[in-house]
Amino acid sequence: MQDSRLENERLPLGALLALAMTGFICIVTETLPAGLLPEISSGLNVSPSLAGQMVTVYALGSLLAAIPLTIATQGWRRRNVLLLTIVGFLLFNSVTAWSSSYGLTLIARFFAGVSAGLAWSLLAGYARRMVAVHLQGRAMAVAMVGAPIALSLGVPLGTWLGSLVGWRTAFGLMSVLTVGLIVWVLAKVPDYPGQASSERMPLGRVFFTPGVRPVLAVVMTWMLAHNILYTYVAPFVTPAGLASDIDLVLLVFGIAALLSIWITGRLVDRYLRNAVLISLAAFAATAFVFGFFSQSVIVIYLGTFVWGLTFGGAATLLQTALADTAGEGADVALSMNVVAWNGAIAIAGLFGGVLLDQVGVVSFPWVLLVLLLAGLWIAVGARKHGFPQGQRQGGAVVTGH
């Protein structure tokens, strides 16, 4: 049963941007240690590789918690669940900032990841409930904007700030941000009831809903390709002489990703299927060009811009498709998306590392091409369920033009 929607054409930007800030905090909290490994390893008296496990256990917490916590909290009022995730960030980032014990720090990082897993399962569905059906895609685009901003601006800023005033202060400032976010949520974000027990769909039924598995398969193939390149972008651009310009390469990617969010918000409600197919095809074409011209500075920058354009709207497109397909099981399906997304990050780190060591960066474009063509093939085939043709209207799609 759907909640009443706003009848006008205006988006509740104050509420949606609060969701976007939650996503921003999720991403910055996850990736902040990666840019501060020397300082953290020195502060905790461990090796940089052990300090790097702060990222690993965070991802593990998200992977393990997303589905069971989403199911456990289905009946709770939605704002209470959102506040629970934010308070989790406040608590566990504060512990990270004060802890002098490596073991305690890892525990705090694991439970920060648990908070993130629940948050990502919640945000997309929450944004959809705030607006009329024909505005759901645009609302999700706003709610998802925190992630590319964090990747393009928040992480470099946090890294710079941490190296300037110390890594503990950087985590402490994240806690300060969450205090402000709690006030923001209480002031601006509307509350909704959870699902009644009669409306809840079991995990297996959601997974076997027609279209859910194709969408999740596209999530895996697309995000594997993206994360292999994103995780190892430094060695990939080194042959082009850009080893000292990684920050500029990632800035180009971030700007394109932000532009993509805006474009996606305009297209998702009318042209979701086409946007997915074009994004996958353009990324595949970029990988193909990288395969022949990866030593060209111009190709790297232009290719990175196209890559950013194809990636920025991916979360909005895929989560909209998944929620539409799953219907009443949307929250559970979106928790599966969290597992698939984080699983792709973990696998990409391992698989990309093996490729880098055994074959070299020359292999990256061709592996990306295979993954992206596989994702494109699945998406093309899911024309009835998953990525249906026509203009979307909530869970249904109207064919015709």
Q: Where are the alpha helices (DSSP H) in 73-202?
A: 78-98, 102-129, 136-143, 146-149, 155-165, 167-188
Q: What DSSP letter does each residue of 307-355 carry, written as one string?
A: HHHHHHTHHHHHHHHHHHHHGGGHHHHHHHHHHHHHHHHHHHHHHHHHH
Same domain, 261 and 309: yes
Instruction: Give Cα separations from 346 to 59, 68, 228, 353, 391 (angstroms).
Output: 8, 20, 10, 11, 34
Measuring CA to CA, which residue among 117, 161, 110, 151 is closest to residue 233? 151
Paired strand residues for 396: 393
Q: Is residue 4 part of a domain?
A: no
Q: Is residue 347 part of a domain?
A: yes
Of the residues 194, 214, 235, the one at which a domain ends? 194
Q: What DSSP letter does each residue of 39-69 carry, written as one string?
A: HHHHHHT--HHHHTHHHHHHHHHHHHHHHHH
Q: Is residue 1 part of a domain?
A: no
Query: From its phi and psi, is residue 386 left (phi > 0), alpha (psi between -120 and 50) or beta?
Result: left
> In which residue are the tokens 């054409």 written?
9
Which residues in the chain land under pLDDT 50? 1-8, 395-401
Question: What 3-state DSSP class applies to 371?
Answer: helix
pLDDT at 6: 40
Same domain, 262 and 328: yes
CA distance 56 to 52: 7
CB 304 within 8 A of CB 296: no
Same domain, 263 and 399: yes
Q: Is residue 2 part of a domain?
A: no
pLDDT at 121: 86
Same domain, 158 and 250: no
CB 91 within 8 A of CB 107: no
pLDDT at 401: 38
Same domain, 149 and 234: no
pLDDT, tens digit, for every residue of 347-368? Answer: 887 888 888 888 988 999 999 9
pLDDT at 128: 85
CB 183 within 8 A of CB 13: no
The residue segments making up the domain with residue 325 are 202-401
pLDDT at 9: 65
pLDDT at 396: 45
Of the residues 174, 194, 214, the one at which a domain ends? 194
Q: Is residue 359 part of a domain?
A: yes
Same domain, 190 and 289: no
Residue 111 exposure: Cα atoms within 13 Å on the Cβ side: 17
Q: Is residue 221 part of a domain?
A: yes
CB 96 within 8 A of CB 173: no
Same domain, 234 and 357: yes
Same domain, 324 and 175: no
Q: Is residue 3 part of a domain?
A: no
Element (H, E) at 392: strand 391-393
Q: Is residue 79 part of a domain?
A: yes
Same domain, 229 and 115: no
> Among positive and negative, which fits the CA dihedral 86, 153, 110, 74?
positive
CB 81 within 8 A of CB 71: no
pLDDT at 75: 86
pLDDT, tens digit, for every residue of 47-64? Answer: 877 887 888 789 889 989
Same domain, 164 and 270: no
pLDDT at 88: 97
Instruction: Give Cα separations from 152 to 39, 60, 178, 394 (angstroms).
Output: 22, 23, 20, 31
Element (H, E) at 398: strand 396-398
> Count of domains in the chain?
2
CATH number of the domain to which 268 belongs: 1.20.1250.20
pLDDT at 147: 82
Of the residues 194, 220, 253, the one at which a domain ends? 194
Same domain, 161 and 229: no
| pTM of the predicted protein model | 0.80
Same domain, 178 and 157: yes
Residues in the chain: 401
